[in-house]
Structure 1
Amino acid sequence: MAAASLIHPTAVVDPAAELDSSVSVGPYAVIGPRVHIGANTSVGAHCVIEGDTTIGEGNQIFQFASLGAQPQDKKYAGEPTRLVIGDRNTVREFCTFNTGTVQDRGETTIGNDNWIMAYVHIAHDCIVGNNTILANNATLAGHVHVDDWAILGGLTGVHQFTHIGAHVMAGFASHISQDVPPFMMVDGNPLAVRGFNMEGLRRRGFTPERLGAVKQMHRLLYRQGLTLEAAKQAIDALKDEMPEAVQDVEHMQSFLAASTRGIAR
């Protein structure tokens, strides 16, 4: 249990909850019995954290967030499922993150160093990686995967079972109902691929050679009129042509091979 001086006297913290002594809890917050919170995490006023929820270290959870409530799935019948949040995440006002369902992995997972802005909803069984930005009112339906360094603009909606690749940038109010390959920039309703995320990749230290490989993969997928299978074969050839970008090419290949909803094209 956190030190009493760090828990506001109006907060309701179940005695069975496990809070590091450095955790702070604001006024009128409610924390349930199966909640575990790591060191140096702060919980704002009026937050509700319930269910089987584990939160790591150094997170900042702003007022009125609701974390760990049961999934919004009509099939849910009270089975034991979880929400797991990593370290150093910022969770702004009125966010709602639900636990998983037994129809999937039984766990909703959020990684480390994410910047999650107000009113974001992360539904059951989602997996959010590390270093992502989810702007205000971005909404993830159930079973969505968002890979590392992805950015979703405000009011973006993501259809269930959709996979958003690493380093993707989605513009304001995008409607994402198909998988978005790594490195791409998308927006609109219907969704369109506008280019690749050159500036974001530069900021993350991609060399000119790696940027060149990403540019070529974008051209093969979206600018040369190739079928998807032909584009996959041409992308495979890049491993010999651009050896310094083999990992990026392989990352794209594995994403395309695993896609179940088809890719945004």
Structure 2
Amino acid sequence: MSSSFLKQGNLCSRFSLSSALQIPRLRHLLHFFFSHVAEGEQVDTSTPAKSGFVHPTAVVHPDALIGQGVSIGPFCSVSSSAKLGNGCQLYPGSHVSGSTELGDNCTLMTGAVVGDDYPGCTVIGSNNTIGYHAVIGVKCQDMKYKPEDECFLEVGDNNDIREHTSIHRSSKSTDRTVIGNDNFIMGSCHIAHDCKIGSNNIFANSTLLAGHVEVEDYVHTAGATVVHQFCRIGSFSFLGGGSVVTQDVPKYMMVAGERAELRGLNLVGLTRCGFSNAEIRNLRTAYRKIFMSVDANVGSLEERMAEVELHGELVHVPAVRAMLQSIRNSFAENRRGICKFRHWNVSKLAEVA
């Protein structure tokens, strides 16, 4: 155990002693622990919390690297190859396994599991919260995976990963699963092997991302959203609740439906993220020209996009250019194309958000 630790008599501050006493085995262990204190073993309670604390029932391998001010609660385990940064907190029954690194000030709630003993590693940045019974950085669910291959997960900083979420390592040594910064991943979400997640995303409960999905930044999913393998979700887009997304979602767009269709721009999200009225107005104009033309002889999607690119005003708007490039990228080789869009007529134009 790291020399930075001092044993203290107080239990982990987040652990309820009254609830613990309801568990027979834990009640016995606590009686054993406190009886030894009563018999004369001196326990220093004057040391500040930053000195760290390991509960006597925790199993911490002596080769583990433990930072300053780390708190490890009852029945936790820390593997020999683990590295815990300063100020980390492991709540009762949480586990750090295999070659796993936690940055500073990470919190593992009760029952959380981070890492496993398979080849490769899990690297978690700073200020992350891993929710109750979440499973992060374990072996992927891919039949092609070979147990002897190294596999990797990298998570950035300031992510809130809630209860029962699962995030898997990559399926091969040449790839890795990546999570960016400042993401809010709600309960029971699943992020499969080799996914690439950007920053500032919000995934509502039970969002399921299959293998190799790429999500850019500021994406918001509603509950029970499912995304097919190899799809890409563009920045500032919104996925409606219960949607099954089987093709790419371009930047700034909103999709919904059992087989998700484009339903317009994510106007609420764009406004909340600080897009100006002029930017949103130009994006709406471009979207209508591409997806909602009232001309029966308008031509193909490519021709409509070319018309926007030749438009005197729209072509000079960076957001419009980004949207066009996002659409074009979705039709590149080995990409899945974009979600289907409705064929509008003049009478429906007034209904567009």
Q: Which moved more, 1:161-170 or 1:249-258?
A: 249-258
Q: Does the Cα contact within 8 Å between 2:190 and 2:209 map onto a contact in 1?
A: yes
CA distance in 2, matches of 1:181, 1:226: 21
Alignment of 1:32-181 (within 5 A): 32-51=97-116, 52-78=121-147, 79-102=149-172, 105-181=174-250
CA contact (8 A) 1:184 1:218 kept: no
Q: What amino acid does structure 2 have at the position aligned with 1:262?
A: G
Name which of 208, 227, 235 aligns with 2:300. 227
Task: Identify the residue that residue 190 of structure 1 maps to in structure 2.
Answer: 259
Q: TM-score by structure 1 length? A: 0.93
Task: Answer with 19-28 or 215-224: which moved more.
Answer: 215-224
Q: Which residue of 2 aligns with 1:10?
A: 75
Residue of structure 2 in register with 1:256 after alignment:
327
CA change 1:235–1:127 in 2 (3 A) is farther
2:307 partner SS: helix
Segment of structure 1 superposing worse, 111-120 or 33-42 = 33-42
Q: Give the number of aligned pairs.
A: 262
* 2:95 is the alignment partner of 1:30: yes
Instruction: Return the alpha-carbon distance in structure 2 between the equivalents of residues 183 and 5 of structure 1.
Output: 42
Q: CA deviation at 1:207?
A: 1.0
Which residue identity is paired with 1:88? N
Q: 1:20 maps to which residue?
A: 85
Report if aligned partners of 2:70, 2:88 keep a CA contact under 8 Å in 1: no
Residue 245 of structure 1 corresponds to 317
CA 1:180/1:84 → structure 2, altered by over 3 Å: closer, same or farther? same
C-alpha distance in structure 1 between counterparts of 2:305 and 2:101, whole Å: 44
Q: Distance in 1 between matches of 2:108 and 2:207?
A: 22
| Contact 2:225–2:243 (8 Å) recurs in 1 | yes
Partners in 2 of 1:98 and 1:197 — Cα distance? 30
- Which SS does the other structure have where 1:109 is aligned? strand
SS at match of 1:253: helix
Kindly state the Cα deviation for residue 16 of structure 1 after the two structures are TM-superposed. Answer: 2.0
The secondary structure found in structure 2 opposite 1:221 is helix
1:41 CA drift (Å): 1.2
In the alignment, the residues of structure 1 paired with residue 275 and residue 299 of structure 2 have an alpha-carbon distance, to the nearest angstrom, of: 26
Q: Does 1:202 align with 2:271?
A: yes
Match of 1:218?
A: 287
Checking the alignment, whether the CA contact within 8 Å between 2:88 and 2:106 is kept in structure 1 is yes
Range that drifts further, 188-197 or 172-181: 188-197
CA RMSD of aligned residues (A): 1.7
What is the TM-score normalised by the length of structure 2? 0.71
Aligned partner of 2:99: which letter?
R
Q: Decide which moves more: 19-28 or 3-12.
A: 3-12
Give 1:237 shift.
2.6
Name the % identity.
Answer: 34
In structure 2, relative to structure 1, the CA distance for the partners of 1:207 and 1:5 (3 Å cut) is closer
CA separation of 1:53/1:5 partners in 2, compared to 1, >3 Å: closer, same or farther?
closer
Shift of 1:144: 0.4
Q: Secondary structure at the match of 2:317?
A: helix
Do the aligned residues in 1 keep the contact of 2:237 with 2:253 (CA within 8 Å)? yes
Please give the alpha-carbon distance, in whole angstroms, between the structure 2 residues aligned to 1:257 and 1:81: 32
Counterpart code for 2:317: A
Contact residue 123 and residue 153 of structure 2 kept, 8 A: yes
Residue 256 (structure 1) shift: 2.0
